[in-house]
Amino acid sequence: MLKHPLEGQIIEGLGVIETSESDNILRWDGKMVYVEHDIYHNGQLVHAKYKRRVTKEVARCLLASIAANSN
């Protein structure tokens, strides 16, 4: 039995359904802000702790929040 539901993005070229799980914690590695994801194809783990960049909008909001709280 699969631990992960098969709801996600269909990748037709690979013939798999891609799903991901994340702890939704923002991280900074000195170059980029990212969230770690575990990526699954048809329920099997294929990438552990994959770094997915946050959007520009999220980065801007984070920067504004840091700037507002550093005064």
Tens digit of pLDDT at every position of the chain (71 positions): 455 555 799 999 999 999 999 999 999 999 999 999 999 999 999 999 999 999 999 999 999 999 998 86
Residue 3's pLDDT is what?
Answer: 57
Q: Decide: helix, strand or coil at residue 29.
A: coil
Q: Decide: helix, strand or coil at residue 56.
A: helix
> Residue 40: exposed, middle, or buried by beta-carbon count in 10 A (0-12, 13-18, 19+)?
buried
Fold designation for 9-69: Double Stranded RNA Binding Domain (3.30.160)
Bridge partner list, 16: 11
Residue 1's pLDDT is what?
Answer: 40
d(C-alpha 42, C-alpha 40), whole Å? 6
d(C-alpha 11, C-alpha 24), whole Å? 24
Residue 70's pLDDT is what?
Answer: 84
Q: What is the pTM of this model?
A: 0.69
